[in-house]
């Protein structure tokens, strides 16, 4: 179940010479919003890692909309512009390969999860502008900028200091005194207090030919599997 739609989803993983057909109906993540701290991008991500997470990777429109809705509830005391570091960055030498704004938006921007940016409609006007000759460019998400535009992004110097958003995969213990908020693509609830509210399937079917040979149940964390680049997915509504 994702935003009211029922979908059948299979993930296909080649492992040890076998095809693993994995039920991937759900994934869940939790998030903390560090609005009273200001750190550089690398320090922000390091702080997230000490808490068993990383800077947030927003790989779907639904997850992006959830994060955008959450930051509307917060007036950061650390940054009057309410810009938040997210887990998106690029090396300067990579960005400078491109001249047009459209090509720069489609350049090799990478999330901390290892995935590439695929949602290119969230850039602010004339962004990314890659002003200044920094070694790397990092990205912030804005609460409401330009006015009336919610959750749009821009590139900044990675050494600037901003509040930041951490993300934690389902099953990871969150080392923080903050109360995390959680989101799942399979829940009818928009906001969760814990990923334990989501029933993540763990049944795995293995096959070495076109005929199914055996069925095995393994302790699989679906969300971490979905982020493995060796996986392709097919969906049917």
pLDDT of amino acid 27: 73
* In the chain, beta strands by DSSP E: 8-15, 18-23, 28-39, 54-55, 83-91, 110-111, 136-142, 153-157, 162-169, 181-184, 203-207, 214-217, 232-236
Contact (CB, 8 A) for 184 and 31: no
pTM of the model: 0.72
pLDDT of amino acid 126: 94
CA count, 13 A, side-chain hemisphere, 214: 7
- Compute the distance between CA of residue 167 and CA of residue 172 in angstroms, rounded to an integer: 10
Segment 172-223, tens digit of pLDDT = 778 777 788 998 877 656 677 777 665 444 444 344 433 333 333 333 333 2
pLDDT of amino acid 24: 41
- Tell me the two tokens of residue 1: 């179940």
pLDDT of amino acid 226: 31
> Which residues are registered as beta bridge partners of 204?
22, 216
- Compute the distance between CA of residue 61 and CA of residue 157 in angstroms, rounded to an integer: 25
Segment 71-128, tens digit of pLDDT = 999 887 767 678 999 999 999 989 989 999 999 999 999 999 999 999 999 999 999 9
Q: Which residue has the tokens 């059948």?
A: 8
pLDDT of amino acid 188: 57
CA distances from 229 to 11, 13, 38, 106 (A): 11, 10, 32, 19
**Does residue 164 carry a pLDDT above 50?**
yes
Mean pLDDT, range 42-46, rounded to an integer: 97
């Amino acid at each position: 179940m994702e935003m009211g739609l029922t979908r059948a989803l299979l993930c296909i993983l080649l492992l040890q010479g076998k095809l693993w057909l994995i039920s991937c109906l759900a994934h869940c993540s939790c998030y903390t919003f560090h609005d009273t701290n200001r750190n550089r991008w690398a320090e922000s991500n390091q702080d997230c890692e000490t808490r068993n997470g990383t800077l947030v990777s927003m790989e779907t429109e639904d997850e992006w909309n959830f994060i955008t809705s959450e930051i509307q509830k917060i007036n950061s005391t650390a940054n009057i512009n309410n810009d938040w570091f997210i887990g998106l960055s690029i090396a300067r030498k990579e960005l400078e390969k491109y001249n047009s704004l459209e090509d720069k938006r489609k350049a090799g921007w990478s999330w901390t999860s290892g995935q590439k940016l695929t949602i290119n409609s969230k850039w602010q006007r004339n962004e990314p502008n890659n002003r200044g000759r920094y070694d790397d460019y990092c990205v912030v998400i804005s609460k409401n900028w330009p006015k009336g535009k919610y959750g749009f992004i821009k590139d900044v110097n990675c050494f600037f200091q901003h509040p930041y958003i951490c993300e934690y995969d389902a099953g990871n213990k969150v080392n923080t005194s903050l109360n995390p908020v959680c989101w799942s693509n399979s829940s009818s609830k928009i906001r969760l207090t814990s990923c334990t509210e989501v029933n993540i399937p763990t049944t795995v079917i293995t096959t070495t030919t076109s005929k199914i040979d055996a069925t095995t149940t393994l302790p699989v964390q679906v969300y971490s599997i979905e982020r493995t680049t060796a996986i392709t997915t097919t969906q049917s509504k």
